[in-house]
A and B are shown apart, each in its own frame.
Chain A
């Protein structure tokens, strides 16, 4: 055996070059096994279940905007055929009328938007209409708070300050978007 000389001794370091490979393997494993789950969407609250519909609610005609969607994806708003592009304008005019025009609502609190879709209409159109109706409410609320629609959507109900704003806007424009009971008809 040869004598060891101090100057030739290798550096005392743990070889960490394979560490990167291990980390890569872990990374690839996670990339393969997980998917970025899209859980964002359009939120909607269903109306309460009514046990007996014998009681007729007396709602004046002017405070009710009826939106009907048929199986060929055509829309009837307040008795008129309306295209999807004009729905938002119509709804906003109806909601923010405050008694000015005779045929539209008395006040935002009393105004009710009733949406009824046929079983044969497709989900894409259904959601588009729902989205437009929601955006009418959201835009009116956002205008009331002097913020943009995008900012309104980001308001966090967990944050005390932002929740106060939300409550304020909701008090001004309560979302009385209701979905009418479906008829028991088959196409």
Chain B
């Protein structure tokens, strides 16, 4: 066996030319996998757990409604409220909110049959408020609902 000779002229730096590419791949992954939230929930929502979870078809549009107790209890009180967009509304005002939200959607997707009302509600609340919302939605002809829930993990 030969003797080991200390190489002197070889540079010690790690080539970092491919690093930006790796970071860009990560970046694109996040850009694709995440979705910008339309409105920030101002209410506390602990999602319930369910087994029969289905995604929303890509052909359907969604309108979000949040139902929960306000995070800022000193300002809005501790009674459960409905948040539509950035505002808290009463069930009676749903009609105006939904029709304005609908008008922002693409023209071909404005019929009630193509819209899913996505309801995010806190699991601990009594459903009285939800019943009011549902009655109001039925009057308007919006019958497709989605109750946001987390998937139950098999034990």
Contact = CB atoms under 8 A, between A and B. Distances in A.
Q: Do A and B come from one complex?
A: yes
Interface of A: 16-17, 19-20, 22-24, 26-27, 30-31, 33-49, 71, 117, 119-124, 126-128, 130-131, 134-135, 138, 153, 157-158, 179, 182, 187
B97 interface: no
User: Which of B34, B141, B142 has its CB near the most chain A CB atoms (within 10 A)?
Assistant: B34
Main secondary structure of the interface of B (DSSP, over half): mixed
B52 to A, nearest CB: 4
B53 A40 contact: yes
Contacts of A42: 50, 52-54, 146-147, 149
Interface residues of B, number: 56
Contacts of A124: 48, 123-124
Given A30-B34, A46-B144, 18 more contacts: A19-B20, A20-B19, A20-B23, A26-B27, A34-B36, A36-B34, A39-B146, A41-B54, A41-B149, A43-B116, A119-B126, A119-B131, A123-B125, A124-B123, A128-B50, A131-B52, A153-B54, A182-B131
20 contacts: A16-B17, A20-B16, A30-B31, A37-B35, A41-B147, A41-B148, A43-B116, A43-B145, A43-B147, A45-B144, A45-B145, A46-B137, A47-B138, A48-B143, A71-B126, A117-B127, A120-B128, A123-B121, A123-B126, A124-B48
A61 B30 CA distance: 54
